[in-house]
Each structure stands twice: as structure tokens, then as C-alpha cells.
Amino acid sequence: MKQKFYNLQITTNGQKLYEFTDQTIKWISKYNFKNGLLNLSVQHTSASLIIQENADPDVQIDLINYFDKLFPMDNKSYIHTIEGKDDMPAHIKSALTNNQISLSVKDSKLLLGTWQGIYLFEHRLEVQKRTIIHHFIGE
């Protein structure tokens, strides 16, 4: 059994989807992983990991806009406001999406659909440094 860890750092600058599919594939290829599970986890509770379409960029714009509509910043009922108006909605968005994704690797290939990309979904407004742990277990 082979196990390996890697911390991918992404500096974000506002509410957007940051694709890192290529960095993940490069890492798999570098260590010549054949078959196994790749566990990705983001070490924060105001950003998410999601698999989304990487074909039409409008999908991401609509997604971000609709998230802001569903989980608005200007909600007077929030008690937790000390870290900024974007922080509480960020925690709600995080709870409703994922901090963690497990992907399968088969014959040295990351099993994603044709239009699927892996994204860090940033929910904060200011510049943030985010860590995404990569953990491979397999052979």
C-alpha cells in the first residue's frame, strides 16, 4: 500500500471558482499512482470544494450569483457579524456544499467526467490563502 500527502496552496481574491484539476493530475502523474483513492479536503469553513462543469464559464457566474441570492450578505438576522458581512453567509454556503471530496484513480487516470473540473469555491470577499490537502491511498 502506498500513501502520499501534498498541500496545495491557492491564494484567492474574492468569490469565484478556482479550478485546480491540472495541478491534481500533475501530482498523480509525478508519483506514478496507479489505482487508489484521492481524498481532497479544504482546511477552512468559509470555502468549499466542488466538481462543476468546466465548459461554459457562464455556469460559474450564474452559480455564484444564485448562491448570493439564496444566502444574502445583507441579512439582519445574523448574530455572527464580527468577521464581516460575508463571513456568516460563507459558513452557510460551506455547510451546504462540501469541504471534502474523494476521487478514484484507475490505471493512472483521475476518474472525472468529460465536462467535470475540480474547483475551490471561495465564499469570502477579501484575499485569502487556502490549503487543499491531497491524500492518496492505493498502489
Residue 122 and residue 20 in contact, taking contact as beta carbons nearer than 8 Å: no
Residue 68: count of CB within 10 angstroms of its CB:
15
Residue nearer to its own copies on the CB measure, 23 or 52 = 52
Residue nearer to its own copies on the CB measure, 23 or 45 = 45
**Strand order, beta sheet including 47-53:** 17-19, 116-122, 47-53
Rg (CA), the chain: 16
Q: How far is the CB of 80 from its own copies (least distance, A)?
A: 4
Q: How far is the CB of 69 from its own copies (least distance, A)?
A: 8
Q: How far is the CB of 108 from its own copies (least distance, A)?
A: 13
Q: How far is the CB of 26 from its own copies (least distance, A)?
A: 20
Q: Please state, in angstroms and rounded to a whole number, the distance separating the CA atoms of residues 124 and 38.
A: 26
Residue nearer to its own copies on the CB measure, 23 or 116 = 116
Q: Please state, in angstroms and rounded to a whole number, the distance separating the CA atoms of residues 57 and 59.
A: 5
Strand partners, 116: 53
Q: How far is the CB of 60 from its own copies (least distance, A)?
A: 9
Q: Please state, in angstroms and rounded to a whole number, the distance separating the CA atoms of residues 16 and 68.
A: 12
> Residue numbers of the site for its own copies (CB under 8 A)?
1, 3, 5, 35-37, 39, 41-45, 50-53, 56, 58-59, 61-63, 65-66, 69-71, 75, 77-80, 82, 88, 91-92, 94-104, 106, 111-116, 121, 131, 133, 135, 137-139
